[in-house]
Structure 1
Amino acid sequence: MTTALSELYGSLPLWLQILQGVTLVVILSSVLSVVVLFACAARFRRRTNRLTRDGVDAREEDFLWVFVVPALNEEVTIADSIARLQQTHATHAVFLAIDDGSDDRTGEILAGIADDRLHVLTRLAPNARRGKAAALNDAYRYLDESILTDPAFSRWTKDQVIVAIVDADGRLDPSAPISASTHFADDRMGGLQVLVRIYNRRGPLTWAQDVEFTAFGRLFQAGRAWWGTANLGGNGQFTRLAALASVDDGSGPWRHTLTEDQDLGVRLIQAGWANAQDNDATIHQQGLNSLKRLYRQRVRWAQGNWQAFSLLRGVGRPALPPAARIDSVFYLLTPLLQLLMGTSFVISMAMWVLDIGPRSVTVWWVLALFLALSLGPTVVILLLRQGRWYSRLLGVLLVVPYTICSWLIFPVLAASLLREALGRNSWAKTPRETIDDGSPLATIGT
């Protein structure tokens, strides 16, 4: 292998030959992964369309839908959030809002909402503000011990109760329960994630976030859903109560990680449940217009991805096809692989600018890494997006701006790894922006 790398990369130092050789393998694997997931996503779409067309032995009224809304200082969004949930097409619904020690008007606003379906769990110090996982675990216990013990809910088993997590800025598609019931007709289905969109996608930064979420849902999530290994997000996450109970370690289903949603999704799969993606239902959430706030958010998410490395030891538990098992490892190793490719890119750029080493090699690597990391998958992703007739053409024209925007936050990988190494896990809540009552349509593509 060393000889082959030496022939390919000429007089580069041995350590750099090895680094770029490994990076080449990762790039080729990434391209193959995108191709496989694209094919699996197409098969999943056909299967979902067939189930919808033929009908399945399940209706939304066959389930009790429990919509959980974590709310810490959400006076800007909470009234809008509950009002929208009240419009969902769910025959049997419970709204459980978690006032997690708010010191604004969140509690007052919730108290003023007249709806027998609304339950408010008020968490007080010193138990409040201990993270989203702690709040969700309290809600899980409250649901099991206080709500479902009511005789009015005695008919519902844990297999029939579906828990949906909707952030306070979330705008859930009213028909989501109808669409989700198609998936939960399968008794093996433990979790379901609906497609996340950004409703204030009127600027370049929020548009780029919308592209990112659409890409993840329509390509990566849909592809993995064919195997039953789609993951869960923190917003628009539906889980069967029986599945949550199966991963309850005594303190609750959610663990105290920075990406508790990812952690839960992987553990459900490792416990033998299937997870799916529903791209026919959407949840719109607020995007970040500040690059500084976006950077902080992504550092937090990336640090959670580093923490997910501990889940690698459970990859062999579920009975999955070999391709799905390999993809699961690849998925959990994503931050490491991205950091590896990014490092090679930076080194190649430096060698090119400083004219170190064979110029043909460094130029080739700069172009290859740029195309492999960004342009190729991004073109596929933008072509998969739905919208007005001109959306795909506009999307292709915006490939390079989107790629540049995504690279602006590449340093989050290194920053998050440093934070994890130093044991720094505290984070301040990202403030909400003032909302409007407009539709979630964008002015920069869709």
Structure 2
Amino acid sequence: MFSNPFLLLFPFFLLLCFLLYWAGARHAYTRRPVAENGNPDAFEWHFFVPCRDEEAVVGTTVARLRADHPAAHVWVVDDDSEDRTGAIVAALADEDRRVHLVRRHRPHARQGKGAALNAAYDELNQFLSKDTDRERVVVCVIDADGQLAPDALARVSGPQGFGDPETGGVQVSVRMRNTGDPRPLGEDTGRLRNAFARLLVRMQDMEFSVSNAGMQLLRGRTGSVGLGGNGQFTRLASLDRIAAAERRPWQRGALLEDYELGLHMILSGDRISHIADTWVSQEGLPHGRRFLTQRTRWAQGNLQCVRYAPRIVSSRHYGGKGVLETLYTFLQPVAHLVTLALCAVMFVLLGLTAAEDGFGAAFGGMLALWPLVLGLAVLSIGPFILWGPVYRRDFAADRSLLTALLWGVALWLYAYHLFPASARGFVRMLRGRNGWAKTRRNAESVDSGPVAIEA
């Protein structure tokens, strides 16, 4: 039935790449050294909080940042909000000289998160004196619903972070803080839907806390750590170097402006590290549609970043391992698309064989290969299941081992969202649709505001 050896070998090649990457990520996570604290007083800290219609969360976020990190400045970018975001922040700024409101208005506003961050960068440049040591100034991007760990500045000031003068950026781990919410969709929603929503939030927490953290720690070994949109720390001097080469630190129109910034930072010669021993928390998405929309944007942004491949391959700042890891990351959505295409081809061929030779001829040969199928299933599902006990050990010690193993099975099923997300992202690229609205917060009414993706 399969005369082309590519159809047979390509899935095995993808599985081998996945297993090698998973083994490296798990080893990097479980064997990581504890991050040492540094002296946060050796640096000047500035938080950038981009906001668009964030009245539901921005007041709490700013108050928490000021309470936990009193020496830092908070720069809130109001990207022409249509709610009370600007008024709330303006009132806070009137009472606290370390809170700053950056107002943006259309037509210059609402051009993406990167443009909003560039506006904050420009305002910070005007605020700082000319004799400021910009190597000692650190910018941290926090989502409007983000909450940073109280020990985060001490951790990122240590030798694994900005205590090393070669470090230009640090990314901390991300956690979902609503994993304990028994009814994420509200009291008026049924138990079954709330149970699914709880599991969806738990999977996001598991994904970020252990799986993604392991990937980032592996990238620390290959020199290709990526920056995220929440809990992203950068030296101001590093942003200056990117701005000098690219006209601005964050690129406009990029759907993964955070990851793209990290690429530029490494290409300019700075090192990025990941610190898993501190965190920034955000709300996990309990709504399946919002979740898929968010992941479609990430997949499309990943596909957009493929254009950097020639620069990375030829860069003296990327070693061989870093090039391979980055290309592997770039090509993940492509691999998902190819896998979907191969599955479609397989089912078409099975249907044609069944129509011509009968059901037995079409499926009999496949049934005879059940030991191979079982072995492949174990190799495919096992790595996800093995993250379960690791997650339980570090973040859910009150749960049973059986629960942790079931979470691992759920993580395997959860990973299949990558296939429709990649397909949707690819279709949006083909149609030239690159505009996005913000993802609606859980505290916002479901009948108001944009829906996170343009139709």
TM-score, length basis structure 1: 0.85
Of 214, 220, 223, which residue of structure 2 is paired with 1:228?
223
Aligned CA distance change for structure 1 residues 423 and 274 (closer, same or farther; 3 Å):
same
SS in 2 for 1:37: helix
Q: Distance in 2 between matches of 1:344 and 1:371?
A: 21
* Unpaired runs of at least 5, structure 2: 182-197, 445-455
Question: In the alignment, does 2:113 pair up with 1:132?
Answer: yes
Partner of 2:414: 405
Partner of 1:254: 250
Q: Distance in 2 between matches of 1:392 and 1:155?
A: 57
Q: CA deviation at 1:420?
A: 0.5
| Superposed CA offset, 1:265-314 (max 9, x none) | 12211222111111111111011111111111111111101101011112
| Superposed CA offset, 1:329-378 (max 9, x none) | 212212112333344456567778965362147756765665455x2331
Of 324, 336, 339, which residue of structure 1 is paired with 2:337?
339
Task: Trace 1:97-176 onto structure 2 (pairs within 5 A).
Answer: 97-113=76-92, 114-144=95-125, 146-149=126-129, 156-176=132-152
- Identity, % of aligned positions: 31
Aligned CA distance change for structure 1 residues 242 and 309 (closer, same or farther; 3 Å):
same
Letter in 1 for 2:2: P
Q: Distance in 2 between matches of 1:392 and 1:208?
A: 16
SS in 2 for 1:129: coil
Task: Trace 1:169-248 onto structure 2 (pairs within 5 A).
Answer: 169-182=145-158, 183-201=161-179, 202=181, 203-248=198-243
Letter in 2 for 1:68: F
Question: In the alignment, does 2:375 pair up with 1:396?
Answer: no
Of 62, 66, 71, which residue of structure 2 is paired with 1:86?
66
Of 377, 383, 394, which residue of structure 2 is paired with 1:377?
383
Partner of 2:264: 267
Question: In the alignment, does 2:22 pair up with 1:24?
Answer: no
Q: CA deviation at 1:163?
A: 0.5
Partner of 1:444: none
Q: CA deviation at 1:84?
A: 0.9
Letter in 2 for 1:196: V
SS in 1 for 2:436: coil
Q: Which runs of 4+ in 1 moved over 6 A?
A: 349-354
8 Å contact kept, 2:78–2:103: yes
Q: Distance in 2 between matches of 1:370 and 1:101?
A: 50
Partner of 1:280: 277
Q: CA deviation at 1:315?
A: 1.9
SS in 1 for 2:222: coil
8 Å contact kept, 2:386–2:408: no
| Superposed CA offset, 1:181-224 (max 9, x none) | 01101111111111111111241111111111123443101111
Q: Distance in 2 between matches of 1:408 and 1:321?
A: 32
8 Å contact kept, 2:385–2:411: no
Letter in 2 for 1:266: L
Letter in 1 for 2:13: V
Stretch moving more, 363-372 or 302-311: 363-372
Q: Distance in 1 between matches of 2:408 and 2:388?
A: 8
Of 3, 27, 47, which residue of structure 2 is paired with 1:14?
3
Letter in 2 for 1:215: V
* Unpaired runs of at least 5, structure 1: 1-11, 436-446
Partner of 1:359: 366
Partner of 1:309: 306
Aligned CA distance change for structure 1 residues 425 and 401 (closer, same or farther; 3 Å):
same
Indicate the RMSD between aligned Cα atoms, in angstroms. 2.4
| Superposed CA offset, 1:96-148 (max 9, x none) | 0001001100011111112110111000111111110111111111111x211
Q: Distance in 2 between matches of 1:401 and 1:346?
A: 25
Letter in 2 for 1:287: G
Q: Distance in 1 between matches of 2:373 and 2:46?
A: 50
Aligned CA distance change for structure 1 residues 158 and 22 (closer, same or farther; 3 Å):
same
Question: In the alignment, does 2:288 pair up with 1:291?
Answer: yes
Q: CA deviation at 1:418?
A: 1.0
8 Å contact kept, 2:2–2:8: no
Aligned CA distance change for structure 1 residues 326 and 34 (closer, same or farther; 3 Å):
same
Q: Distance in 2 between matches of 1:161 and 1:174?
A: 19
SS in 1 for 2:68: coil
Stretch moving more, 102-111 or 195-204: 195-204
8 Å contact kept, 1:257–1:304: yes
8 Å contact kept, 1:198–1:209: yes
Aligned CA distance change for structure 1 residues 336 and 365 (closer, same or farther; 3 Å):
farther
SS in 2 for 1:218: helix
Partner of 2:186: none
Aligned CA distance change for structure 1 residues 434 and 40 (closer, same or farther; 3 Å):
closer
8 Å contact kept, 2:385–2:409: no
Partner of 2:427: 418
Task: Trace 1:312-323 onto structure 2 (pairs within 5 A).
Answer: 312-316=309-313, 317-323=315-321
Stretch moving more, 189-198 or 208-217: 208-217
Q: CA deviation at 1:245?
A: 1.3
Q: CA deviation at 1:409?
A: 5.5
Task: Trace 1:427-446 onto structure 2 (pairs within 5 A).
Answer: 427-434=436-443
